[in-house]
Structure 1
Amino acid sequence: MQRHAKGRGMAASWYGIARTATIDRAGAWVEMDDGGTAKVVTGVTEIGEGILTVLAQVAADELGIRPEDVTIGDNDTARSPEAAHAGATRQTYMIGNSVAIACRDARAKLDAELAAYWQVDTAAIKAFDGDIWAEGTNKRMTVDEAVALCKKRGVVPVGSGSFTAHGTGLDPVDGSGAPWQAYVFGCQVAEVEVDTLTGEVQVLGMWAIHDVGRAINPRGVEGQIEGGIVQGLGQALMEDYQLDKGHTTTHGFSKYILPTSLDIPQINVALVEDRDPRSPLGAKGIGEPALVPTAPAIMNAIYDAIGVRITALPATPEAILAGLEAKQARNSALVN
């Protein structure tokens, strides 16, 4: 066998969005404010996934203003509607949809007053980038002016929204049920090079294609996928968390190997926007699903390269060499 063997592997995945086997819900408040600005209040938690940027984009699109004119308010649930936890790939799906519904509620109040003032049908009123107008007419003003007009007519354009994802428990006998309302699907391909002398595996490239529903922030979605692949690479080749009778024997990060920038290959991402028909935005989620097929794709690539099937993670150099020895022993036994 050649010392440096290359191989490619593929893995596909599916994943359910929002809480599992139960009803998930989230709420939000929105106010269109002076100066053509808006504020959004929800109990969302930003943990680095970029949800505040997404919510600002959602609100701006729904209200017809610019994202920089949206303020995301205090997330203390003593003063804001429930948004629940930052997990289950639910932030965009649950809070994004609740914010969209709240924005539409606020816009409905604004549009009703403006339609009455202009004597047009509310369906004709459109807004974008801080301007609002009635289609088919020359009636136009800024959102700032429209909000001021609405307030002069005695109405504050505020809205509230609540979004629910319906899931059911699983039958204890046959496992039937509907644990999630929405699903995403993905596929990843890995190319690796295995050093058959040292057992070292280098990932040369990753290709990922994922169904994300409507991609509200495509760059953010790509970042989530890239982050999931980096985590999956660590899971596949390096991170070795040891337990003994339920207690960790991994002492700390000093000897716990994590991938660094030098370990990360070129990651190529493509998005499939199969919109969710059961939510206002049509968006789904990608936080956790991007991790799922990475390690299987890398393991399949290793098998393609050297014919050794790794069935326990991580695939350390020691595990690779042990697999090669076992393969050689089997081949020798067949010859003899």
Structure 2
Amino acid sequence: MDGIQHRIVKVNGINMHIAEKGQGPVILFLHGFPELWYSWRHQITALASLGYRAVAPDLRGFGDTDAPPEVTSYTCFHVIGDLVGLIDTVAPSDEKVFVVGHDWGALMAWFLCLFRPDRIKALVNLSVVFNPFGSNDNLIEALRAYYGDNYYMCRFQKPGEIEAEFAQIGTETVIKEFFTFWTGDRIFLPKGKGFGRPPNTPIALPSWLSEEDVKYFTTKFDKKGFTGAMNYYRNINLNHELLAPWAGSQIQIPTKFIIGDLDMTYHMPGVQEYIHKGGFKRDVPLLEKVVIMEGVGHFINQGKSNEISKHIYDFFNKF
């Protein structure tokens, strides 16, 4: 953590917190849920030592970045507007940047490459594959039909409801539950029953997550709350509608994709077929490599930090 600098930049009408370290070509790191810039702490240090300038923002609604109150202020266009503004700030004069994304950050990285390929040199994405879009299908209802009402994405839809339940459970417990739960299983949150454990049940942390790490995430989510983060999920259907003009578009950026074989996202309907039977390469024709890491769950950048840093360096070093 030594040498990581923090500052606030004005982008797209909001104040965005960024952490950065190093000198050289810019690598933009985009976090997921329930995460922060801090999720990239290991990669920031590693890549900075290898001659890159690592820049990791708190996305809108998270950490020390502004959280607009309106649910509809969290569409993909708002978030990508923030990121383009950030690129203009840290890489002026139309310089291209490298991008690394995980979870929601991976999804936003796909969109960033789709909308502004002129600003992106290469991409390493973790856990979330490119998702073709364009129809007006109600994705949340499709998930509800497949998994049921208690599936976590479905439970996140009603503003205020899950936030109230998380307040009762306690932020620290919520953080620990998510970071220890996301393996090949699905997350279900029955109303009033939290994560299915009795209150005050001890939660054993994985080796890659310390109590100090939990304290950092907890402090920030205690301050900010979960609403901004939830609003990404509440715009899933709207994003799908907004992206209709890009139906059939391809990602034309050199890409490396990494996922754990225990990651819940790897076991969602159709994902493995999409990855292994040609669909992924069709939609991302410059996809150079897919890495399936054995025995690894969802939080791959934290759980396998050294390996992920090496994968990033080995790929970006070619450009």
TM-score band by shorter chain is under 0.3
Question: Higher helix share goes to which structure?
Answer: 2
Greater RCO (Cα-Cα under 8 Å, separation 6 or more): 1
* TM-score, normalised with respect to structure 2: 0.24
Higher strand share: 1
Please give the TM-score of this superposition, normalised by the length of structure 1: 0.23
